[in-house]
Amino acid sequence: MNRRGLLLSVLGIGAAGFGGAAWYATRPQPVAEAGPLAPEVNDVLIRPYSPILGPETAPVTIVEFFDPACEACRAFHPVVKDIMAEHGDAVRVVIRYTPFHGEASVEAIRVLEAARMQDVFEPVLEAVLREQPRWASHGTPAPGLILEIAASGGLDVEAARTQMLAPGVVAVLNHDRADVETVGVRQTPTFFVNAKPLDPFGEAELRRLVAAEVTASQS
């Protein structure tokens, strides 16, 4: 699990050959933190299809490379919500899917995309993260378990079974995988604030960077 020590719309089909299992197996080893973002990296931080929490027109954007099976992402979720509450309409969060934990991650992302189609993304996200220890701690989750958990957030499970397999969901997964490689993300969560990488990583550092960008947007 990434950062173990931490306690805390439809697109075309993605390019053939970008299968999930091969991607996990060939993902490069961690590298040193990058410097300023290259233009081609900056251009792929946000996609039109990416889920957004908060006002779409907020002047400060937190991009989170997020894996629903990641313990650190679960730990940081209340921190991110608190930052959004503190700054109100000034901050939004763009979620980029980063399925580093195999089939459990992929299935959870498919469920979240079905929830988005049903306009229950946020309550389902809360349910999936709240119950993460049940479904993400033993590799491939029991059949139907994530859907059962998502139902507690308002998901129509029968409709979701079809929606999870939609071509647009496959495309979202493949595009986000490609963008993860382009950006060079090696662990989750990874944050950018108005395209500035969070480095060093930490809750206090994230709060400071967001606050600085909010202040700058108001001047």
Task: Assess whether pLDDT exceeds 70 at residue 13.
Answer: no
Give the pLDDT confidence of 166-216 residue by residue, as tens digits.
Answer: 999 999 999 999 999 999 999 999 999 999 999 999 999 999 999 999 999
Element (H, E) at 65: strand 60-66
What kind of architecture, by CATH, is found in domain 39-218?
Answer: 3-Layer(aba) Sandwich (3.40)
Q: Tell me what the pLDDT averaged over the chain comes to.
A: 86
pLDDT digit string, tens, across residues 100-118: 999 999 999 999 999 999 9
Residues in the chain: 219
Q: What is the mean pLDDT of residues 108-134?
A: 97
| Every domain of the chain and the residues it spans | 39-218
Whole-prediction pTM: 0.83
Residue 8 has pLDDT above 90, yes or no: no
Please compute the mean of the pLDDT values over residues 122-151 and round it to a whole number: 92
**Pair 153, 120: CB distance under 8 Å:** yes
Q: Is residue 2's pLDDT more than 70?
A: no
The pairing of strands 91-97 and 60-66 is: parallel
pLDDT at res. 140:
76
CA distances from 91 to 62, 173, 193, 210, 219 (A): 7, 25, 10, 8, 16
CA–CA distance, 139 with 101 (Å, rounded to integer): 8
Task: Return the pLDDT at 53.
Answer: 97
